[in-house]
Structure 1
């Protein structure tokens, strides 16, 4: 079953063309890894797929209620505890059980600790644990393993494998080999002419620090 597809998709950043002529399909149980140098347009593409901005041309075919999108920032409420953060996000998505998410990211012993008192790696694990309480099949992730050590990357990879096994799918921008089969889309050949000619433009505009999570 196709969860997302694009047809001749072109995207812009700040009104300037970044990527063009992207056509692909992602089905249940599949992973699509976006590759390309920093500033090549990966974040802009992810934001467009997640519905945070409209394409300049072409179409994205996806049910928005299937999407869980996580950007660079962890998007946590620092004064809430680990469990309170997860309960908040679970409530947003009509879910109640946070225990599997706590266990999957080794957060059970930290349930009573305020998110603001967590280490960078712990915050990242909590941010990723939010994915498990959304109940949504399509994860769209931008560099999800930033701040994670090797053991935490393994936890994330295991969570993804379980997600895929239950009919989920993932589109991810990452430079890390997560150890499972995936389609790879190098966005470099799809860079718009203006963006490819101006490295300063591409580096300056393809960033996202808003911590968006849908």
Structure 2
């Protein structure tokens, strides 16, 4: 397995939000995380990306955690750099050099000399997603990646993910929309952690 999640409990602000989460991905597979706002999608993604520890359970896999590339709600764009400079910066961070494919796949070639601060919200989002293409990492973990994207740009992104999967990669994507390709769907509502009772708190703080 490229990524295996077993009986995972994750917390936000010291309080468990999801418990018992389990799924597995092999090369070429993706999973869509679904659930209402506040259910814990971002918390789960941050835990998968190694940015915070799990409360219980295990995450494993052939490329975890070194093989993870994480895209949050923020675009990760440096406003004073051009589009091409932003991608070269991230390529160097991840030890790669090729940016042309990312420019083409996210329709950024005509914008490559534009400073990032002059881009529209959708163009910045495309640049932020193009960053994933230059990481060289096999596992993409993405939080609502289509925010600010129009229909055509969403289609570009979906095609880029499919190309990644065909190349042997995997993806975990929190999204409310249909991206138009086959993937596992993991509804997170059944994994909502039970609310804490008074017995869960130290009486000194009551």
Deviations 1:2-21 (A, max 9, x none): 11111111011011010001
Structure 1 counterpart of 2:99: 98
Whole-Å Cα distance in 2 between the matches of residues 22 and 73 of structure 1?
25
Structure 1 counterpart of 2:200: none
Displacement, 1:64? Answer: 1.5
Deviations 1:139-186 (A, max 9, x none): 000000000000000100110111010001100000110000010000
Structure 1 counterpart of 2:167: 166
Structure 1 counterpart of 2:59: 60
Structure 1 counterpart of 2:179: 178
TM-score by length of 1: 0.89
Is 1:119 the counterpart of 2:120? The answer is yes
Whole-Å Cα distance in 2 between the matches of residues 98 and 55 of structure 1?
34
Displacement, 1:193? Answer: 1.2
Is 1:110 the counterpart of 2:92? The answer is no
Structure 1 counterpart of 2:47: 48
Displacement, 1:131? Answer: 0.6
Q: Identify the structure with bigger relative contact order (alpha carbons < 8 Å, sequence gap 6+).
A: 1
Whole-Å Cα distance in 1 between the matches of residues 59 and 184 of structure 2?
18
Displaced runs of 4+ in structure 1, greater than 6 A? none
Whole-Å Cα distance in 1 between the matches of residues 78 and 11 of structure 2?
31
Whole-Å Cα distance in 1 between the matches of residues 34 and 46 of structure 2?
15
Larger radius of gyration: 2
Gaps of 5+ in 1: 198-214
Whole-Å Cα distance in 1 between the matches of residues 39 and 78 of structure 2?
31
Structure 2 counterpart of 1:25: 24
SS of 2:2 mapped into structure 1: strand
Q: What value does the CA root-mean-square deviation take over the aligned residues?
A: 1.1
Q: Number of matched residues?
A: 195
Whole-Å Cα distance in 2 between the matches of residues 57 and 15 of structure 1?
13
Displacement, 1:24? Answer: 1.1
Whole-Å Cα distance in 2 between the matches of residues 102 and 186 of structure 1?
33
SS of 2:80 mapped into structure 1: coil
Whole-Å Cα distance in 1 between the matches of residues 82 and 28 of structure 2?
33
SS of 1:65 mapped into structure 2: coil
Whole-Å Cα distance in 2 between the matches of residues 161 and 60 of structure 1?
24
Is 1:142 the counterpart of 2:153? The answer is no
Displacement, 1:194? Answer: 1.2
Displacement, 1:41? Answer: 0.6
